[in-house]
Structure 1
Amino acid sequence: MFVESVVRWGLWSILLQFGLGVSAGGCTPRCLCRPEAKEVICSGKHLNSVPEALSSDARRLDLSRNRIKTVGRRQFSGLVKLQELDLSDNIISMIEVEAFLGLQNLRTLRIKNNRLKIIPVGVFSGLSSLNFLDLSQNEILVFLDYTFKEMVNLQTLEAGENDLVFISQRAFFGLQNLQELNLDRSNLTSIPTEALSQLQSLTRLRMLRLTISTLPNNAFRKLQHLRSLLITNWPALDTIAGNSLIGLNLTSLVISSCNLSAVPYSALRHLVYLRFLDLSYNPITVIQGNLLGDLLRLQELHLAGGSLLRIEPGAFRGLAYFRMLNVTSNQLTTLEESAFHSVGNLQVLRLDGNPLACDCRLLWVFRRRVRLNFDGHQPTCSSPDTVRQREFKDFLEKELPRVFTCRPARIMHRRPQEERVEEGTTVLFSCKADGDPSPSITWISSHKNVISPAGRIRVLPNGTLEVRFAQVQDSGTYQCLASNAAGNDTLTVSLYVKGLPRNRNMSLFTEEGLVEPSNTQAANSSAQMAKPYPFDAKTLIIATTMGFLSFLSSVAICFVFMFFWSQSKGQIKHTATIDFVPRSSMGGGGGDGGDGGRFTMKLI
């Protein structure tokens, strides 16, 4: 008896060692069973198919990292208690319809990193309790209508890193409780708006590494529960329509590593619940003033690794909860306190990686450098030369009044400028200023309007005011305002434009400029060219019709005369002489001294 037991134990050990098809306690050979956890682990066992005789009590089955090619119909029908199934990292290219039928308690299904190209409708039948589905890293080309229709409790769908070129409009039909969708590294060329509109419970949408160039209007319509939208690594994305995000109640928005050249203010203005905004790694050059005020709840703005040259005063005005600004690795030389609603709310500031000019404009940062969190990255001065490469933390309090100074703006050459010119003359008014930092030049018209760099009256890049082809209405005073962080200076100039007399040869003002005729003939020619054509189309049509009718009447009279002439009784006449009196060329009637005309008509 003892010998028999020893032999039986030895045979059992050999069978286990070579993986023969014998099981003990319901555990499949080659697999590791954990009865206490109700797990069957068959990962990395070089299996070519799903093993049979699996324990019906198993709650977790791991078949990852094998060589399984096909999953047949009702392959797991006996595992009624199974809650988690992992088929990742196989070479599965075919899953038959109803392959998972009977797994009514399954919560998690992973089919990641296989060779699926298409998922037939009905593959996921019976998975009404599934919460998590991972289809990423396959070769799926299209999601067909009703692919997921029975998965009413699915909450997370990982569908990234496929070859998706199209998502059918009703592909997501039935996913009424889906909360998170990830579509990364696909070949989609446009936003699948109609398909996404089926996901009315979606709270998080992630779309990475796509080739889409435009976010159109209403791109995410009907997603009123969406809270987080992540768009990153779209190198072609350069256009975001003004109503592309309308209807969304986002709290977090990331549009990074794209090709945006400006902050999409129009698209953002609807997002009154937004708290986190990341526009990093876009070629954005400026954050304009007073355009983010609608984002009432915004707390964090990240714009790292961009091309920022300036942040204008009032850029964050109205943002009472704003506490973090990250503009590391840009081209900023300064950041003025006037950009913020209240610097007292600011907690974290990332300014490192910028060519900062350490002058009076940054003094507010130095005075708060102990309480302000730089997130472990101290800003460094790039200028002036006396403090180059010094970190903010290295400055002593007593140095600040001496080092961080500015020189107020001052207008040079303040000579009186008054121009009295005739209409059509081009006038230039100079305004040069110096200061530290370099002052900006602004011109204000006599109507208190700021003059732009474009138009007939414009400000040139060097600060000069140009009035091209001056008109009488341009007369008045103009004010030059030179300003920097340390102060302002102003200069007033005068322009008087005299109108041209009416009895002179008037010059013509065109879009190309003022045209002055060289002589009377040229002036008359220009006036004639400017005069509208005296006849309209209706008059020409009536005149033509009347002339044509007169011609037909004359021809008809001739034919009638010929008819009656040919019908004369007994008299055959082969010729007829017709006398006529022509109308005077000057409009007068025929007189006694007028000679009539005569022609002969021969009848054949």
Structure 2
Amino acid sequence: MFVESVVRWLLWSFLLQFELEVFAGSCPLRCVCRSEAKEVICSGKHLNSVPEGFSSDARRLDLSYNKIKTVGRRQFHSLPQLQELDLSDNSISMIEVEAFQGLQSLRTLRIKNNRLKIIPVGVFSGLSSLRFLDLSQNEILVFLDYTFKEMVNLQKLEASENDLVFISQRAFFGLQNLQELNLDRSNLTSIPTEALSQLQNLARLRMLRLTISTLPNNAFRRLHRLRSLQIMNWPTLETIAGNSLNGLNLTSLVISSCNLSTVPYSALRNLVYLKILDLSYNPITVIQGNLLGDLIRLQEFHLAGGSLIRIEPAAFRGLPYFRMLNVTSNQLTTLEESAFHSVGNLQILRLDGNPLACDCRLLWVVRRRLRLNFDGHQPSCTSPDAVRRRVFREFSEKELPKLFTCRPARIMDRKPRDARVEEGSTVLLSCKAEGDPSPSITWISSHKNVVTSTGRIRVLANGTLEVRFAQVQDSGTYQCLASNAAGNESLSFGLYVKEVPRNRTGPSFYTEEGWGEPSNPKAANSSAQIAKPYPFDAKTLIIATTMGFLSFLSSVAICFVFMFFWSQSKGQIKHTATIDFVPRSSMGGGGGDGGDGGRFTMKLI
């Protein structure tokens, strides 16, 4: 048994040595062949064309960083076992049809950083085993129909940094197993929706540095298996249509470094599987309350480097798995506990880079400073002066109740202000409050509804309630509610609107100073008018008649003057005129030769 094992080992060693010597003996000039790994390294050898003489057993061929310009038809047909081919960083501008025919084992093909402008249909014929294709950093203008049709096992296509202006509808036909597609930095001006719909198994799509200004409805239809979508560095993107993400089952969505001014709530509402949402580096100013509740599986929300000034209460309500909030480098002064579904689930909080006001609203954060993970970036106070620049971890438990305090909201003037007005008036009801932090003012209408900042009855920016063109049905009790984190206070106002008599049409308005009237409050009562037999008096009639007579005489005089000067311009005027005539026959014969003519002279006056 021992002798048999030794013989087998010797035989195996001999065969291996023979194979290595054969592989080494087939190495092209200026290339390095590594027998153990069956690699041929021809990188950076100033080659102008693909060399010959490769061993048929080669598994990896590196031709990068050369000066190759053309890849001919069946250029690598003698390498049936080749699994990786690198043609990156050459000057390739032409690849002939069936250039890679015979590479039935090839899994990785890199043609990065060349000068390709177009890829003829059939170039990738025979690459049925290919898993990864890198076409980035070329000058490709268009992907034609069926360009990749035989690459049925391709899983990742890297097509970044080309001059793509158009992707044909069937360009991706045949890529039935493609998992990842990158279309960064191209000249596309719209989403190639029809082309993408061919990729029904696509899981990851990345589109960076494009100049597309809007995401239309159904932009990614049929991509039901897409899990990750990255849209980054689109400086002109301002609009995301409400149904643009319909049909997607994303778990990760990144729309960052764009120009969104609001969170696209309508587009997000159907993404019930979403776990990570990143809207960083957008000029978003507020995260509104109760609008993200449909994202029931959301775990992370990122909005770093934006223009955020407020996160409203209940902003993350209904998100039981929410564990990370990243709002670093914004304009937030506070973050209230009421914004979250449960602060007990929160694990990572990035608040650094914000002008935080360290008062009672942030007390919940400071008390959890040892349990919360600030990701290595401790928040610090900007105000008040007593704690300016102090980071949260520096505070002791004893000083927290003294430093992190608030003053409850208090309405400043509580005297009765009931208003009794007439219909059509404009009423201004002022409600001013003080406190620390500054209270917010909310008005409740007589119908128990919250008054908004728009409409005939609205709340002005300074908290004043304005009722324009008051109606009888506006009568009732209006309640002003001043509130902040430390407490709230309310005050009721009575408004009584009286119906305006029919003989009054001029509007008025009511303020704290009293009633105001328009500059011309004349009322017109058409029903009370009495017809008069003579609408004008005698004096008016005389003046009107005289003016009319004078105007008539002036017109006649002008006509005579004009006729006089016209006649003078025609020379000497004749005062007589001689007229010849033939008398008409007394018989009705038509005036033949029956009578003599006559003549008479007229004197012109």
Give the TM-score normalised by the residue count of structure 1: 0.81
Correspondence for 1:16? none
Deviations 1:530-567 (A, max 9, x none): xxxxxxxxxxxxxxxxxxxxxxxxxxxxxxxxxxxxxx
| Alpha-carbon separation, structure 2, partners of 1:300 and 1:401 | 31
Q: How does 1:544-559 map to 2 (within 5 A)?
A: none
- Shift of residue 324, structure 1, vs aligned partner: 0.3
Q: How does 1:64-463 map to 2 (within 5 A)?
A: 64-463=64-463
Correspondence for 2:29? 29
| Alpha-carbon separation, structure 2, partners of 1:523 and 1:432 | 46
| Alpha-carbon separation, structure 1, partners of 2:64 and 2:338 | 58
| Alpha-carbon separation, structure 2, partners of 1:514 and 1:275 | 60
Gaps of 5+ in 1: 1-22, 526-571, 573-604
- Structure 1 residues 297, 519: closer, same or farther in 2, change over 3 A? closer
| Alpha-carbon separation, structure 2, partners of 1:434 and 1:222 | 55
| Alpha-carbon separation, structure 1, partners of 2:459 and 2:184 | 48
CA contact (8 A) 1:43 1:62 kept: yes
CA contact (8 A) 2:506 2:522 kept: no
- Structure 1 residues 397, 520: closer, same or farther in 2, change over 3 A? closer
Gaps of 5+ in 2: 1-22, 509-516, 530-587, 589-605
| Alpha-carbon separation, structure 2, partners of 1:519 and 1:392 | 68
CA contact (8 A) 2:478 2:492 kept: yes
Correspondence for 1:562? none
| Alpha-carbon separation, structure 1, partners of 2:426 and 2:243 | 44
State the superposition RMSD in angstroms. 1.8
Give 1:60's aligned amino acid. Answer: R
Correspondence for 2:554? none
Correspondence for 1:548? none
Deviations 1:132-163 (A, max 9, x none): 00000000000000000000000000000000
Secondary structure of 2:301 counterpart: strand
Give 1:113's aligned amino acid. Answer: N
CA contact (8 A) 1:289 1:313 kept: yes
Correspondence for 2:548? none
Give 2:185's aligned amino acid. Answer: R
Give 1:426's aligned amino acid. Answer: T
CA contact (8 A) 2:273 2:298 kept: yes
| Alpha-carbon separation, structure 1, partners of 2:499 and 2:282 | 52
Q: Which has the larger radius of gyration?
A: 2
- Shift of residue 520, structure 1, vs aligned partner: 3.4
Give 2:441's aligned amino acid. Answer: I
Query: Kindly, what percent of the aligned residue pairs are identical?
Result: 82
| Alpha-carbon separation, structure 2, partners of 1:524 and 1:44 | 105
Correspondence for 1:10? none
| Alpha-carbon separation, structure 2, partners of 1:523 and 1:183 | 77
- Structure 1 residues 125, 405: closer, same or farther in 2, change over 3 A? same
| Alpha-carbon separation, structure 1, partners of 2:415 and 2:467 | 19
Give 1:385's aligned amino acid. Answer: D
Correspondence for 2:539? none
- Structure 1 residues 104, 480: closer, same or farther in 2, change over 3 A? same
| Alpha-carbon separation, structure 1, partners of 2:63 and 2:405 | 69
CA contact (8 A) 1:85 1:109 kept: yes
| Alpha-carbon separation, structure 1, partners of 2:436 and 2:468 | 32
- Shift of residue 455, structure 1, vs aligned partner: 1.7
Secondary structure of 2:398 counterpart: helix
Give 1:235's aligned amino acid. Answer: P
- Structure 1 residues 442, 523: closer, same or farther in 2, change over 3 A? farther
- Shift of residue 508, structure 1, vs aligned partner: 8.6
Deviations 1:457-492 (A, max 9, x none): 111111111112211111111000000000000000
Deviations 1:48-78 (A, max 9, x none): 0000111111010000000000000000001
Q: How does 1:515-534 map to 2 (within 5 A)?
A: 518-520=522-524
Secondary structure of 1:116 counterpart: coil
- Structure 1 residues 363, 107: closer, same or farther in 2, change over 3 A? same
Correspondence for 1:558? none
Give 2:132's aligned amino acid. Answer: F
| Alpha-carbon separation, structure 1, partners of 2:126 and 2:526 | 91
| Alpha-carbon separation, structure 2, partners of 1:340 and 1:453 | 26
- Structure 1 residues 24, 295: closer, same or farther in 2, change over 3 A? closer
Correspondence for 1:48? 48
Correspondence for 2:62? 62
CA contact (8 A) 1:411 1:489 kept: yes
| Alpha-carbon separation, structure 2, partners of 1:524 and 1:508 | 21
Deviations 1:169-218 (A, max 9, x none): 00000000000000000000000000000000000000000000000000
| Alpha-carbon separation, structure 1, partners of 2:507 and 2:461 | 29
Give 1:459's aligned amino acid. Answer: V
Secondary structure of 2:402 counterpart: helix
Deviations 1:422-455 (A, max 9, x none): 1122212111100000000001001111111122
Secondary structure of 1:181 counterpart: strand
| Alpha-carbon separation, structure 2, partners of 1:457 and 1:249 | 43
Secondary structure of 2:195 counterpart: helix
| Alpha-carbon separation, structure 2, partners of 1:27 and 1:493 | 96
Deviations 1:257-304 (A, max 9, x none): 000000000000000000011000000000000000000000000000
CA contact (8 A) 2:186 2:209 kept: yes
Correspondence for 1:543? none
CA contact (8 A) 2:210 2:234 kept: yes
Correspondence for 2:492? 492
- Structure 1 residues 173, 439: closer, same or farther in 2, change over 3 A? same
| Alpha-carbon separation, structure 2, partners of 1:69 and 1:490 | 80
CA contact (8 A) 1:308 1:331 kept: yes
| Alpha-carbon separation, structure 1, partners of 2:188 and 2:451 | 46
| Alpha-carbon separation, structure 1, partners of 2:527 and 2:29 | 107
Give 1:150's aligned amino acid. Answer: E
CA contact (8 A) 2:410 2:488 kept: yes
| Alpha-carbon separation, structure 2, partners of 1:447 and 1:523 | 37
CA contact (8 A) 2:506 2:523 kept: no
CA contact (8 A) 1:508 1:515 kept: no
Give 2:524's aligned amino acid. Answer: T
| Alpha-carbon separation, structure 1, partners of 2:527 and 2:283 | 53
